[in-house]
């Protein structure tokens, strides 16, 4: 089997961490509970057109907000995690801080996602 966590980088310092296993997700989520960092979870799917459309914008946000953890989860690889967060459509972005959901957005709305990150990152 390939790597269970991969990092996709844009031309800056921002990373979007792709999580491919439940163990790695659980580790990430547990770490977020003790951290004051905002975590943005991007729930997507390989077959989702809008997910592919917004992906470059998410990478740009990861560069801009290098103090925020960006996690990408494919709902077909980790359906239990998607169910835990009650994901019904893609893309769904869930903002989590200290293990608690702070806000969410469904759809391709980069400006709204940017505002939400600004609001909850501190």
- What residues act catalytically? 48, 51
Cβ atoms of residues 64 and 16 within 8 Å: no
d(CA 25, CA 119): 25
Cβ atoms of residues 103 and 116 within 8 Å: yes
């Amino acid at each position: 089997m390939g790597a269970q966590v991969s990092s996709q980088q844009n031309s800056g310092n921002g990373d979007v961490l792709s999580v491919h296993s439940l163990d790695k997700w659980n580790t990430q989520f547990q770490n977020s509970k003790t951290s004051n960092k905002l975590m943005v979870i991007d729930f997507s799917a390989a077959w989702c057109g809008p997910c592919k459309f917004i992906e470059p914008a998410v990478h740009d946000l990861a560069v801009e907000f290098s103090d925020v953890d960006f996690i990408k989860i494919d709902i077909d690889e980790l359906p239990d995690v998607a169910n835990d967060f009650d994901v019904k459509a893609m893309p769904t972005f869930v903002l989590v801080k200290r293990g608690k959901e702070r806000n969410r957005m469904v759809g391709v709305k980069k400006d709204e996602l940017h505002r939400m990150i600004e609001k909850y990152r501190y």
